[in-house]
Chains A and B, each alone.
Chain A
Amino acid sequence: MPLNQALVGKEYPPIRYEVGREKLREFALAVGEHDPVYHDEEAARAAGHPDIPAVPTFPVVLSFRAGALVYADPELGLDYSRVVHGEQEFVYERPIRAGDRLVAVGRVAAAQTKGRHELLTITTRITTEAGEPVCQATSLLIARGTASRAADGEGR
């Protein structure tokens, strides 16, 4: 089943996320980041942050959850078993930080065919509950070989 072009522009229900210090520390350590600014409140404040900031790729935790709603949409026709992550971009208004109460909304930004593959672009807009913009994550997913299957009608 090819990707459903009619879903380009569709937004999915918001997911809510409360940012805890320990989660930010855990994520920082998981990517090998030991700089005190990401772990110690005093070091963070001394560097001008209201609380511990997240490392730059932390927003993926939210975009992964928001994206899961997109992948699971039966109307989209995405064969997730054939998906690889092609590109990832984050555009920041400011770093996520401990104490943030965030809302993330996933959206199908583009769906196109490239050779035998299908390309799906999903954006996740992250704001505070008050509506302050924080970050936008854009993921390019590649469904390998699904275009030829769709064209050949193999349905394999």
Chain B
Amino acid sequence: MSPRRDPAQVAAGDKLDQVSEPIERLDLVKYAGASGDFNVIHWSDEAARSVGLPGVIAHGMYSMGVAARMVAAYAGDPGAVKRIKVRFSAMIQPGQTLTAGGEVAEVDGSRVTLRFWAEDDEGNRVLSKGEADLELS
């Protein structure tokens, strides 16, 4: 990871480097094991369909985890991330690619606020109203 970003080099409107992650069922199985969230709707099509879903869907927290990579990479240091928040606005299924992007919303000295999102192949917002506060001092 690059060193903590210099806040003097940050301006409102700066774009974050996007992160894209193709999602396979195996990714959801790994995430289930790593996170402890074994809800059947994330690995069994049969169970997912029985509750009205089109098939297995990714954990919302998997998508947030991918988007958080982008935020931490922009900060250059996980210790500079002071707050991160998302709204889960659509589900995403294996076979799709999750793409996260964002920009600098506000700079107040060493305090930087980011806005970010994540979407599927069709441009549906999987994560919306993403916000992160960085302390880059």
List the interface of chain A (C-beta within 8 A of B): 23, 26-27, 29-33, 35-38, 43, 47-49, 53-57, 60-61, 64-65, 81, 84-92, 94-95
Contacts and interface: CB of A to CB of B under 8 A. Distances in A.
B78 A55 contact: yes
A81 B71 CA distance: 32
Given A56-B78, A81-B51, A85-B60, A27 B87 contact: no
B86 A88 contact: yes
A55 B60 contact: no
Interface string B33-45: 1111100000000
Contact of B88 (A23, A33, A35, A88): A88
Contacts of A56: 68, 71-72, 78, 81, 84
B65 A94 contact: no
A88 B62 CA distance: 12
A156 B86 CA distance: 32
A104 B64 CA distance: 21
Interface string B71-96: 11100011101111111100000000
A86 B88 contact: yes
A26 B29 CA distance: 12
B35 A64 contact: yes
A95 B87 CA distance: 22
Contact of B31 (A31, A35, A55, A81): A31
Given A27-B34, A27-B35, A53 B78 contact: yes
A31 B31 CA distance: 7
B73 to A, nearest CB: 7
A35 B69 CA distance: 9
A29 B34 CA distance: 9
Contact of A95 (B79, B86, B88): B79
B83 A87 contact: no
A47 B85 contact: no
Contacts of A36: 1
Nearest to A36: B1
Interface in B92-126: none
A80 to B, nearest CB: 10
A85 B57 CA distance: 13
Contacts of A49: 79
